Amino acid sequence: MLTEFADFSDAEIQLFNKNISKRYLDKNAVLCKEGDVSKSIFFIVKGSFYQSYYNPVREEHIITDLHLENEWIFDPESLVNQKPAKNTIKAFENSEVIELTLESLHKLIAISNKFLQFNKLLISNPKLSFYDENMTPTEKYNYVLKTRPQLIQTFPLSMIASYLKIRPETISRIRSNVSF
């Protein structure tokens, strides 16, 4: 989980391991609640999560991101600015995460510049929007199908549709024209 960010020594990895904790979450458990200030980053060991906010005008939850195993998950805006989160992050299924608190991350950064590099890369490269807003619904779906097919295998079509900002009936029509 660290190797994509820097070449950490065994001692640095041991230090990291001493500063993390494992959490087990049941399906629908909240990892980060809308309105709370984010104090941790998480690495998904097992399971999947979705990030959403409630839209009172549409009277529905809007999916802003979907997360799978071996991904980092956090609310970048809340974590960096220490402001209340605009989204809720929930477990889609029984899941296991590794938690690194902001306090522990600061301790690690004080010890090794590699953790500063880790932090900068993690914060500067959030998956805020993986596709072009100008894509057609078909292009959006095909992009997910090509780049992150596990999303389609893990989450129901209604969640995929919300994530892609298209209607469920549109995604059904698109799927009927796609050959697997």
Domains along the sequence of the chain with CATH: 10-124 (2.60.120.10), 137-176 (no CATH)
pLDDT for the residue 24? 98
CA angle 31, 140, 134 (to 5 degrees): 105
Radius of gyration, alpha carbons of the chain = 18
Q: How far is CA 9 from the centre of its chain?
A: 27
Q: Residue 131: its pLDDT value, please?
A: 58
For residue 134, the model assigns a pLDDT of 82
Question: How many CA atoms lie within 13 Å of 17's alpha carbon, on the beta-carbon side?
Answer: 7
**Residues 91, 99: Cα–Cα separation, whole Å:** 14
pLDDT of residue 76: 87
Is the pLDDT at 15 greater than 80, yes or no? Answer: yes
For 29, 36, 58, 151, 160, the CA distances from 47, given in Å and listed in that order, are 12, 23, 29, 12, 17
What's the rounded mean pLDDT across residues 86-91? Answer: 96
Among residues 53, 90, 61, 94, the alpha carbon closest in space to that of 73 is found at 90
Q: State the amino acid at position 17 in one-letter form.
A: N
Average pLDDT (50-66) is: 91
pTM higher than 0.85: yes
Q: For position 160, what pLDDT does the model report?
A: 94
Q: What is the mean pLDDT of the chain?
A: 89
Rounded Cα distance, 163 and 171, in Å: 11
Give pLDDT tens digits for 93-148: 999 999 999 999 999 999 988 888 888 777 775 454 555 678 889 998 998 899 89
Question: Rounded mean pLDDT of 149-175?
Answer: 92
Average pLDDT over residues 45-54: 96
Mean pLDDT of 34-43: 95
